Amino acid sequence: MKSRLVDFHCHLDLYPDLVAAIADAEAAGVYTLTVTTTPKAWPRNLELTRGTTRVRAALGLHPQVVSERSGEISLWETYLPEARYVGEVGLDAAPRYYRSFDLQQQIFERILKQCAKAGGKILTIHSVRAAAVVLDLIEAHLPPGRGQKVLHWFTGTKADARRAVDLGCYFSVNARMLETDRGRDLIGILPNERLLTETDGPFTKFGGRPACPADVADTVLGLAKLHQLSLDEMTATINKNLTTIVSSAGES
Ligand code: MN
């Protein structure tokens, strides 16, 4: 199998034209996971990605919208049987969202329990200023073998990262994480076999415009340097990790 680029966390439905964004990712040959922030977006994302080879949609309820949209958890549950991928979900304890942190935890716990019950789901998880609590909830409610966990744009401590590795988590790394000493330092301790790449577009920029899935090429290069692998080796490792996640998510 030819190695391809992987963008495991991108918000294609936040670009001006979702149809074009999906077509571009598909044409570029990038395995792309397009996440959603509300379950209301799920039917359209599912429909538009269904005919593609490399673009998959994830069913989300973003922690940053939980204060206004917690009631949509029942809709999220309704759609869960149709979804192999789940996200964006998780917790955000930054000042702007801290008021809803208790509610976010209730929602995330419910999501993890539903995923564990269903089995076979692959989650892309947000953990801004909340890595330890995210890991506590994962440990309590989504045991290994009942689903795969990918921590997106992880900014916890090294101790948090080691604990996440022990809990079986993967990490999707983006270009912004590689820009700081702290980010590189953290990514440097992550095992190669737990690494994926992401853009989190359009929230990251590339050359002054919103990043698109093909821009992960730059991140693969950065990771290869950091982990002292050739570009081909790093690309192959990321492809292998993706295959492992998909094939070992557990029975659904
Ligand atoms: Mn995101």
> Domain of 134: which CATH number?
3.20.20.140
- Å from CA of 224 to ligand 1 middle: 23
The answer to whether the pTM exceeds 0.95 is yes
Domain holding 227, by residue range, is 5-248
Count up the domains in the chain and report the number: 1
Give the Å distance between the CA of 174 and the centre of ligand 1.
11
pLDDT truncated to tens, each residue of the chain (252 aa)?
A: 467 999 999 999 999 999 999 999 999 999 999 999 999 999 999 999 999 999 999 999 999 999 999 999 999 999 999 999 999 999 999 999 999 999 999 999 999 999 999 999 999 999 999 999 999 999 999 999 999 999 999 999 999 999 999 999 999 999 999 999 999 999 999 999 999 999 999 999 999 999 999 999 999 999 999 999 999 999 999 999 999 999 987 655
Rounded distance from Cα 240 to ligand 1 centre (Å)? 23
DSSP per residue over 150-193, as a string?
EEES----HHHHHHHHHTT-EEEE-GGGGGSHHHHHHHHTS-GG
Using the mean position of ligand 1's atoms as its centre, give its distance from the Cα of residue 171 in Å: 13
With beta carbons less than 8 A apart as the criterion, state whether 250 and 119 touch: yes
